Amino acid sequence: MFSFSQLNEVQILLFALILLRMSAFVVSAAIFNTGNISAPLKILISLVFTIVVYQNLATNQALVRLKESQADLLLLAGREVLLGLVLGFITRLFFFAISMAGELVSISMGLGQAQMFNPMMGSMSNAMEQFYSVIATLVFLAMNGHHMMIMGIVESFQTSPVAQLSFHYSSFAEVVLKMQSFFIIGIKISAPILISMMIVQLGIALLSRVVPQINVMVTSASVTVLIGFVILFISLPLLVMQMAGLMDFSMGEFFKFIKAI
Protein backbone atom coordinates (compact mmCIF):
# COMPACT_ATOMS: atom_id res chain seq x y z
CA MET A 1 0.00 0.00 0.00
CA PHE A 2 1.42 3.40 -1.02
CA SER A 3 1.87 5.81 1.89
CA PHE A 4 3.48 9.16 1.20
CA SER A 5 4.19 9.76 4.91
CA GLN A 6 6.50 6.73 5.04
CA LEU A 7 8.80 7.91 2.24
CA ASN A 8 12.29 9.14 3.04
CA GLU A 9 14.00 12.14 1.44
CA VAL A 10 15.41 10.27 -1.58
CA GLN A 11 12.11 8.51 -2.24
CA ILE A 12 10.26 11.84 -2.14
CA LEU A 13 12.74 13.27 -4.65
CA LEU A 14 12.20 10.26 -6.92
CA PHE A 15 8.44 10.70 -6.64
CA ALA A 16 8.81 14.39 -7.53
CA LEU A 17 10.92 13.61 -10.62
CA ILE A 18 8.38 11.07 -11.83
CA LEU A 19 5.60 13.60 -11.20
CA LEU A 20 7.47 16.23 -13.24
CA ARG A 21 7.63 13.98 -16.30
CA MET A 22 4.01 12.94 -15.90
CA SER A 23 2.82 16.53 -15.43
CA ALA A 24 4.75 17.79 -18.46
CA PHE A 25 3.31 14.94 -20.52
CA VAL A 26 -0.30 15.57 -19.41
CA VAL A 27 0.03 19.30 -20.09
CA SER A 28 1.37 18.82 -23.63
CA ALA A 29 -0.19 15.52 -24.80
CA ALA A 30 -3.17 15.15 -27.10
CA ILE A 31 -6.62 14.87 -25.47
CA PHE A 32 -5.24 15.86 -22.04
CA ASN A 33 -4.07 19.33 -23.10
CA THR A 34 -7.50 20.55 -24.21
CA GLY A 35 -9.07 23.55 -22.53
CA ASN A 36 -12.06 21.39 -21.57
CA ILE A 37 -9.87 19.69 -18.94
CA SER A 38 -9.26 22.09 -16.06
CA ALA A 39 -5.85 22.59 -14.43
CA PRO A 40 -6.86 20.87 -11.14
CA LEU A 41 -8.02 17.83 -13.10
CA LYS A 42 -4.73 17.71 -15.03
CA ILE A 43 -2.86 17.82 -11.71
CA LEU A 44 -5.03 15.00 -10.39
CA ILE A 45 -4.39 12.89 -13.50
CA SER A 46 -0.64 13.46 -13.16
CA LEU A 47 -0.72 12.46 -9.48
CA VAL A 48 -2.75 9.31 -10.20
CA PHE A 49 -0.36 8.24 -12.98
CA THR A 50 2.64 8.90 -10.72
CA ILE A 51 1.21 6.94 -7.79
CA VAL A 52 0.37 3.99 -10.07
CA VAL A 53 3.88 3.67 -11.53
CA TYR A 54 5.91 4.73 -8.48
CA GLN A 55 6.04 1.30 -6.80
CA ASN A 56 7.57 -0.31 -9.89
CA LEU A 57 10.04 2.52 -10.49
CA ALA A 58 11.27 3.03 -6.91
CA THR A 59 13.91 0.29 -7.13
CA ASN A 60 17.06 0.25 -5.06
CA GLN A 61 19.10 0.95 -8.18
CA ALA A 62 17.06 4.08 -8.97
CA LEU A 63 17.28 5.31 -5.38
CA VAL A 64 21.06 4.81 -5.27
CA ARG A 65 21.46 6.56 -8.62
CA LEU A 66 19.38 9.51 -7.41
CA LYS A 67 21.26 9.73 -4.10
CA GLU A 68 24.54 9.96 -5.99
CA SER A 69 23.17 12.63 -8.34
CA GLN A 70 21.54 14.98 -5.82
CA ALA A 71 24.05 17.69 -6.73
CA ASP A 72 22.55 17.73 -10.24
CA LEU A 73 18.96 17.83 -9.05
CA LEU A 74 18.02 20.86 -11.16
CA LEU A 75 19.41 19.21 -14.29
CA LEU A 76 17.51 16.03 -13.49
CA ALA A 77 14.29 18.00 -13.03
CA GLY A 78 14.82 19.86 -16.31
CA ARG A 79 15.47 16.56 -18.09
CA GLU A 80 12.19 15.08 -16.84
CA VAL A 81 10.21 18.14 -17.88
CA LEU A 82 11.84 18.14 -21.33
CA LEU A 83 11.14 14.46 -21.88
CA GLY A 84 7.51 14.83 -20.83
CA LEU A 85 6.96 17.84 -23.10
CA VAL A 86 8.58 16.18 -26.13
CA LEU A 87 6.63 12.95 -25.68
CA GLY A 88 3.40 14.91 -25.34
CA PHE A 89 4.23 17.00 -28.41
CA ILE A 90 4.77 13.86 -30.53
CA THR A 91 1.29 12.61 -29.65
CA ARG A 92 -0.12 15.90 -30.99
CA LEU A 93 1.55 15.60 -34.43
CA PHE A 94 -1.43 13.51 -35.54
CA PHE A 95 -3.78 16.40 -34.79
CA PHE A 96 -1.40 18.97 -36.29
CA ALA A 97 -1.52 17.13 -39.64
CA ILE A 98 -5.32 16.86 -39.50
CA SER A 99 -5.62 20.53 -38.57
CA MET A 100 -3.48 21.51 -41.54
CA ALA A 101 -5.59 19.36 -43.86
CA GLY A 102 -8.78 21.00 -42.55
CA GLU A 103 -7.27 24.46 -43.03
CA LEU A 104 -6.33 23.71 -46.65
CA VAL A 105 -9.80 22.31 -47.39
CA SER A 106 -11.51 25.29 -45.79
CA ILE A 107 -9.48 27.82 -47.76
CA SER A 108 -10.02 25.98 -51.04
CA MET A 109 -13.80 25.91 -50.43
CA GLY A 110 -13.91 29.59 -49.50
CA LEU A 111 -14.83 28.99 -45.86
CA GLY A 112 -11.61 30.33 -44.36
CA GLN A 113 -13.35 33.28 -42.69
CA ALA A 114 -15.76 31.15 -40.62
CA GLN A 115 -13.76 31.10 -37.38
CA MET A 116 -14.55 29.31 -34.12
CA PHE A 117 -12.58 28.14 -31.08
CA ASN A 118 -10.97 24.71 -31.45
CA PRO A 119 -10.46 23.19 -27.96
CA MET A 120 -8.24 20.41 -29.32
CA MET A 121 -5.65 22.88 -30.66
CA GLY A 122 -6.36 25.58 -28.09
CA SER A 123 -6.75 28.32 -30.72
CA MET A 124 -9.18 29.81 -33.22
CA SER A 125 -9.84 27.71 -36.31
CA ASN A 126 -12.31 27.58 -39.15
CA ALA A 127 -15.35 25.36 -39.48
CA MET A 128 -13.80 22.67 -41.68
CA GLU A 129 -10.73 22.39 -39.47
CA GLN A 130 -13.04 21.90 -36.48
CA PHE A 131 -14.96 19.22 -38.40
CA TYR A 132 -11.74 17.38 -39.26
CA SER A 133 -10.55 17.66 -35.64
CA VAL A 134 -13.78 16.11 -34.32
CA ILE A 135 -13.48 13.16 -36.71
CA ALA A 136 -9.80 12.79 -35.84
CA THR A 137 -10.63 12.72 -32.13
CA LEU A 138 -13.21 9.98 -32.67
CA VAL A 139 -10.70 7.96 -34.72
CA PHE A 140 -8.03 8.54 -32.06
CA LEU A 141 -10.27 7.26 -29.27
CA ALA A 142 -11.73 4.41 -31.35
CA MET A 143 -8.20 3.11 -32.05
CA ASN A 144 -7.32 3.35 -28.33
CA GLY A 145 -4.87 6.17 -28.91
CA HIS A 146 -5.27 7.30 -25.30
CA HIS A 147 -4.30 3.80 -24.11
CA MET A 148 -1.19 3.83 -26.30
CA MET A 149 -0.27 7.27 -24.95
CA ILE A 150 -0.37 6.02 -21.37
CA MET A 151 1.53 2.85 -22.31
CA GLY A 152 4.15 5.01 -24.02
CA ILE A 153 4.79 7.35 -21.09
CA VAL A 154 5.06 4.36 -18.73
CA GLU A 155 7.44 2.58 -21.11
CA SER A 156 9.60 5.73 -21.30
CA PHE A 157 10.63 5.15 -17.69
CA GLN A 158 12.13 1.82 -18.77
CA THR A 159 14.02 3.14 -21.79
CA SER A 160 15.03 6.41 -20.12
CA PRO A 161 15.12 5.85 -16.33
CA VAL A 162 14.65 8.59 -13.77
CA ALA A 163 17.76 10.18 -12.17
CA GLN A 164 19.87 9.66 -15.26
CA LEU A 165 21.38 12.58 -17.14
CA SER A 166 22.25 10.80 -20.38
CA PHE A 167 20.44 11.75 -23.58
CA HIS A 168 20.36 10.41 -27.13
CA TYR A 169 20.24 13.76 -28.90
CA SER A 170 19.92 12.17 -32.34
CA SER A 171 16.40 11.01 -31.48
CA PHE A 172 15.29 14.62 -30.96
CA ALA A 173 16.67 15.58 -34.38
CA GLU A 174 14.71 12.72 -35.94
CA VAL A 175 11.48 14.13 -34.47
CA VAL A 176 12.07 17.41 -36.31
CA LEU A 177 12.77 15.57 -39.57
CA LYS A 178 9.66 13.41 -39.17
CA MET A 179 7.47 16.51 -38.97
CA GLN A 180 7.93 16.81 -42.74
CA SER A 181 6.23 13.43 -43.18
CA PHE A 182 3.23 14.57 -41.12
CA PHE A 183 2.81 17.70 -43.25
CA ILE A 184 2.98 15.63 -46.44
CA ILE A 185 0.31 13.28 -45.09
CA GLY A 186 -1.83 16.30 -44.18
CA ILE A 187 -1.65 17.48 -47.80
CA LYS A 188 -2.56 13.98 -49.02
CA ILE A 189 -5.62 13.93 -46.74
CA SER A 190 -6.86 17.21 -48.20
CA ALA A 191 -5.90 16.25 -51.78
CA PRO A 192 -9.39 15.06 -52.97
CA ILE A 193 -11.00 18.38 -52.06
CA LEU A 194 -8.04 20.46 -53.28
CA ILE A 195 -7.96 18.79 -56.69
CA SER A 196 -11.75 18.99 -57.02
CA MET A 197 -11.73 22.69 -56.19
CA MET A 198 -8.98 23.33 -58.74
CA ILE A 199 -11.09 21.62 -61.43
CA VAL A 200 -14.19 23.58 -60.35
CA GLN A 201 -12.33 26.89 -60.50
CA LEU A 202 -10.96 26.00 -63.92
CA GLY A 203 -14.46 25.13 -65.13
CA ILE A 204 -15.88 28.39 -63.79
CA ALA A 205 -13.07 30.34 -65.48
CA LEU A 206 -13.83 28.69 -68.83
CA LEU A 207 -17.56 29.29 -68.33
CA SER A 208 -16.96 32.99 -67.67
CA ARG A 209 -15.08 33.22 -70.97
CA VAL A 210 -17.87 31.47 -72.88
CA VAL A 211 -20.74 33.34 -71.16
CA PRO A 212 -19.40 36.76 -70.06
CA GLN A 213 -22.84 37.81 -68.74
CA ILE A 214 -22.52 35.44 -65.74
CA ASN A 215 -21.45 37.13 -62.50
CA VAL A 216 -18.53 34.85 -61.65
CA MET A 217 -17.85 36.40 -58.22
CA VAL A 218 -21.37 35.59 -57.01
CA THR A 219 -21.84 32.25 -58.76
CA SER A 220 -18.45 30.69 -58.03
CA ALA A 221 -18.77 30.99 -54.24
CA SER A 222 -21.99 29.01 -53.95
CA VAL A 223 -20.95 26.45 -56.58
CA THR A 224 -17.57 25.90 -54.92
CA VAL A 225 -19.10 25.35 -51.47
CA LEU A 226 -21.81 23.02 -52.82
CA ILE A 227 -19.44 20.84 -54.84
CA GLY A 228 -16.91 20.90 -52.00
CA PHE A 229 -19.42 19.48 -49.52
CA VAL A 230 -20.56 16.84 -52.02
CA ILE A 231 -16.96 15.69 -52.59
CA LEU A 232 -16.32 15.80 -48.84
CA PHE A 233 -19.21 13.48 -47.98
CA ILE A 234 -18.40 11.14 -50.87
CA SER A 235 -14.77 10.89 -49.74
CA LEU A 236 -15.61 10.63 -46.02
CA PRO A 237 -14.86 6.86 -45.80
CA LEU A 238 -11.51 7.49 -47.50
CA LEU A 239 -10.87 10.33 -45.05
CA VAL A 240 -11.44 8.03 -42.06
CA MET A 241 -9.13 5.40 -43.59
CA GLN A 242 -6.42 8.01 -44.13
CA MET A 243 -6.78 9.21 -40.54
CA ALA A 244 -6.48 5.63 -39.30
CA GLY A 245 -3.30 5.20 -41.33
CA LEU A 246 -1.93 8.47 -39.98
CA MET A 247 -2.81 7.33 -36.47
CA ASP A 248 -0.82 4.12 -36.92
CA PHE A 249 2.11 6.09 -38.33
CA SER A 250 2.11 8.66 -35.51
CA MET A 251 1.91 6.02 -32.77
CA GLY A 252 4.70 4.08 -34.49
CA GLU A 253 6.90 7.18 -34.43
CA PHE A 254 5.89 7.79 -30.81
CA PHE A 255 7.09 4.37 -29.63
CA LYS A 256 10.14 4.53 -31.92
CA PHE A 257 11.19 7.75 -30.19
CA ILE A 258 10.60 6.21 -26.76
CA LYS A 259 12.92 3.31 -27.60
CA ALA A 260 15.57 5.69 -28.98
CA ILE A 261 15.82 8.13 -26.04
94 and 242 Cβ atoms separated by less than 8 Å: no
Range list of H helices, 110-235? 127-142, 145-159, 169-210, 216-234
C-alpha 189/C-alpha 246 separation (Å) is: 9
Please give the residue that has the higher pLDDT: either 132 or 210. Answer: 132
Q: What share of the chain is helix, strand, coil (3-state, %, to 5)?
A: 80, 5, 15
pTM: 0.82
C-alpha 64/C-alpha 61 separation (Å) is: 5
pLDDT, residue 225, reads 83
C-alpha 73/C-alpha 231 separation (Å) is: 56
pLDDT tens per residue, range 21-54? 999 999 988 888 777 788 889 889 999 999 888 8
Residue 136: domain span: 4-260
pLDDT, residue 252, reads 86
The total number of structural domains in the chain stands at 1
Please, what is the angle between helix 9-28 and helix 60-68, to 10°? Answer: 90
Instruction: For residue 88, give the H/E element and its range.
Output: helix 73-109
pLDDT tens per residue, range 153-212? 999 888 888 878 777 767 777 777 778 888 888 888 988 888 988 888 888 888 778 777
C-alpha 70/C-alpha 13 separation (Å) is: 9
- pLDDT of 121 above 60: no
pLDDT tens per residue, range 46-101? 999 998 888 888 888 888 888 887 778 888 888 899 889 989 988 888 888 898 89
Count Cβ atoms within 10 A of the Cβ of residue 84 and give its class: 0-12 exposed, 13-18 middle, 19 or more buried. buried
pLDDT band at 122 (very low <50, low <70, confident <90, very high): low
pLDDT, residue 63, reads 81
pLDDT, residue 44, reads 92
